[in-house]
Structure 1
Amino acid sequence: MDVWRRSLLAVVCGVAVAGIYAAQPVLEPMGRDLGVPAGHVGWIVATGQFGYLAGLVLLVPLGDVVDRRRLIAVHLAVTAGGMLLTASASAAWAAWAALSGLAVAGAFAVVVQTAVAYTAALSPPDRRGRNIGVVTSGVVVGILGARVVTGALAELWGWRSVYVVLAALSLGLAALVLAVLPPERRSAPSVSYGRVLVSLGGLFGQRPFLGRGLVAFFLFASFGTLWSGLSLPLADAPWHFSDGQIGLFGVAGLAGALGAARAGRWADEGRAAPVTGLALALLVLSWAAIAWLPWSLWLLVAGIVVLDFAVQVVQVSNQHLLTAARPDNSGSVIGGYMIFYALGSALGATATTAVFAAHGWAGSSLLGAGFAACALVVQIADGVRPRSGKVCARRAREGACGAA
């Protein structure tokens, strides 16, 4: 797979996840226009996460039974429809239409998992990891970079323009995918769609899947607490920042996440478990700086950098441990693992706005730190030994690593 095709798939991933997170910097004006009370605006983001959850369960398995290239194009086209529904919401049906559009866009944002599986299928073994790394980098840029672009567009033309632009990009990418990417060449699927769905359920009682999933749940609950709640205090006294200014804080998050580029190498060296524990400790500490938002923007920025660094390190390490433990069904394992991610993000989004309305940013900060502490407790209780990462990494290279 050449650099242009990898880049195209990275952009696909970025645009897809941007549709879920684009609302975060503009929750205040979006909620006001849609008639959503301030204490419930977190549901705007959570709706996309719940749609994403449904897509992980119902849509990701389709990639095992149909051509993924065509599936990627269809997902993007349907995503565009959801974006346009959200952008056109008006009058008495505004909230219902907007939330329905976000749910659709969230469900079909699982094109990310399909794109990663397609990349793995078309990559030679010696370049598979590098190709997947390039493609998944689009997810980080989409989640955090979307905040910057969203804020700028909303300030110029209103929050609805964000979804119009995303819809246009999705349609354009759907056409490019069909024109540029080669179809998959593979034998007829050995299992049915129903069998793949059933196999997902069997993962939830197994190690290391359940432990990694619970860490991801609390990890992204903490992540969602910050990014779904941050626009509310920044738009309020004493700062009164515009949508564009609020979006710029995504640059700090992007810097932190990209700063974790070595996480994959640490995992390859067998240090995934200890590095995960250290990153989760940093996640807890980051909230001590973030809590100073009412008085210091510099401490806030420092806390954001540390938080997003920690989240990215844990995410890469978790996925490395899971795919090393179960190389034969890594697609289903990652799809199931991301269910915890979606639930955690939805919990953080809904809880932070309600807590902020009742207790201010101090309450939201305690909430985020509490979620981070829960993730650290699960990591310690799960008992993943540092040496297990080395064993699985070595056995995975030999093609013989089983369940941990």
Structure 2
Amino acid sequence: MEFLQPGWLWGIMGVALPVLIHLWHQKKAQPLPWAASRWLNEKVALQHRGLRLHQILLLLIRCLLIILISLILAKPFLQSARNQQAKQIVHLVEPDADLVSNFRFELENAMRKGEKMIWITPDSKKIETLTDLPSVQNTQSYLQQIINEEVTSQDSLRFYLTNDQSILMGPQIITQAPFELWLFDRNKKVRFPELREMFADRKLSPEILVNYKNSREQQTVFAAWNAFSEVFSVQLKIDTVSNANKTYDFILSDSLPSAINSKSEYVISGWNARVGLQQNIHFLPDSLLFETSDLVKTGRLPEWLGELLISHEHFDKRTMQASTQQIRSRFRQVAESRSEEADAFTKWLFLPFLILLIVERWLALRKNAAAYA
């Protein structure tokens, strides 16, 4: 048996209260001499000094009531039969030839063991061979769908992914199963100490539009670009109002424009990833504000914008990489909801609670009636 709110089990210690009250009422009273007391013999007096049976029963019932209240509030539930099944490892593999080659030993070993293996594709294709790879783009957009359909809370997940920067664009991945990230570093990450030289050699001056409806978000992104410009001595032309005569290298906004320019790179915040749109549109699930965005909260927004700028200007043909910590922050394990099981079990506890409550009231009223008789 497990509990959703185990902290309420401390309430069981409350059984000491009815015991103390019972002992308090049973303490010896002050003797009051009266005329007929001389006719009482010692045997009868001793009988009335002891505890009566119905009082002990009343004490036990009150203790049980406190225990039941604590159990009801703690919301117990029983492990069902499905929870007793052995765990299986589910391998979710990005269909990338370099990644498969890098983890070939691990993947072939999993195939020999008969473990569940799935390509990260729209149709959750089962892996039958490592030589015939499906051709899929934006694989991270299908991860949540596959997890919801193919993975249970009793499984153990292994993600085989390339540490591409694009995985940070999508929404957070939620799973009830414990998971491991097996990341393939496709190439050496661009080092920021080289950034100043790279810009100086190419004499670039990117045109950037920062246009947000939220004034706080506007200020945050504008300040991040200025910080990037100062640190790396890069000349940036930043507009806050759109100029129809300009073709912008970067357009950052919280709304998707009606007309998309293929020569511009778009960063749209506060939107979930939209599958099927152009590759030059990057969606961020959270607004770029301190209270909603990890990029802003951790001070990584200028660096992240710089990486996008490097990728856009094609300093080399390497893809921009994300760190293991950045990718791990996009995955979150949540506990399986047991509220329905706990509610069903709690209903059965109410029945003995009500019965004991009725019996306790009846015994208490009977005791009081006898005392005043």
Q: TM-score, normalised by structure 1?
A: 0.21
Instruction: Considering fraction of residues, name the structure with more helix.
Output: 1
Max Rg structure:
2
Which protein, 1 or 2, shows the higher relative CO under an 8 Å CA cutoff with sep ≥ 6? 1
Instruction: Considering fraction of residues, name the structure with more strand.
Output: 2
Q: TM-score, normalised by structure 2?
A: 0.22
